[in-house]
Structure 1
Amino acid sequence: MGSLFEELEAREAAARVRVEGLEAELAELSGKLDLAREGLERLRITRETVAEVLAEMPPEKSAATFDADRTTASELAASAYAGAERHVVGVLTVPKWQPGMGMEVLPQVYRDIVEVVADAPGPARAKQIVPRIGLPAETGKIEGTRSKLKRLVERGWLDEDTPGLFTSARRRTAKSPNSR
């Protein structure tokens, strides 16, 4: 009889683990459902607010601003923000270097990195650059800076002759004899 009770206890333990796993999945899905409901509610409120604004506008102005049959969503968005200053948040644009282009086209953090590399007595590593641009020497900051350095290399602002060692770009204005 002892082995039967042991088998039942083992099955009970396995069932308990399965229930706990399902409860964890349910909690995760409940969180996702709550976020989706919040997004839906925000969209509903936005739609109602736009309808109220359009209802309060004089007919000739609202017709000029929005004609549901002929106005695309992008046209509506453009008219809603006409004259407003546009700022892109969270996107840094690093243009490809071209002759005559100055560092002022780079976002500030990239400018700082290029300046530190230019001032370095020799090739610089990401972990040497991080404290010089005012960041703590933590792994995350070093890796983020390394990715920025790689991006600057890809776009022609810096060189990386040896992996992990960055130098100022040697501009190639004329074709070298070895190039095609």
Structure 2
Amino acid sequence: MSADGEAVVTVGSLLEELARREAVARQRIAEIREQIAALESRLEDEHDRLSRLVITRETVEEILGEAAELVGEPMETAEIAGGGIDTAGAVPARPPVLGVVTVPPWRPGMKAAVLPRAYRDAVEIMVDAGRAMRAGQIAVAMGLPDVAAKREGLRSKLKRLVERGWAREEGPGLFMVTEPVTREMSARGNGGSRDGIASSSASSPGG
């Protein structure tokens, strides 16, 4: 074989090797993208699981708090009617559970004022925005730092609002107040009453 022939074979082999390596690199990129997509899906599932656990815990605390009140009421009624209860046979009422957050199911005519402060602020911010928002955007509009702990805490509250009919989830991680709630609040002029929250949400880049 001539020197020219050897040169042609060498260059051809080099081009084939480069093409092979390029194909391998493209395949690796495709595989990594698939792994990232799978991890993002798993992350979203874990977010949902955490939110459900927080909601379940708060619901149990709420039920226990209401049960404690129901146990106390019959005793008070009996004391008034009978002039007292024999302390030896009385069943003491359980102390109320501290830190219980009550979010009532939404009904026509219900105002956002019935909600605990953080829930009320979130509802009013979403009403002002008029669009679906993420927990991080609402947190920033509330003046909270956009950090994972705050986002997750607020995310669980938004899930609770969805559970109780105040809001709906437009997509994964996107929350919006329901149309009946928006109409009710607009009719009653509840917007812009968050002690400065409205102005901060209007100027916030995340709002």
TM normalised by structure 2 equals 0.43
Q: Which has the higher contact order (CA 8 A, sep 6+)?
A: 2
Calculate the TM-score normalised by the size of structure 1. Answer: 0.49
The structure with the greater share of residues assigned to helix is: 2
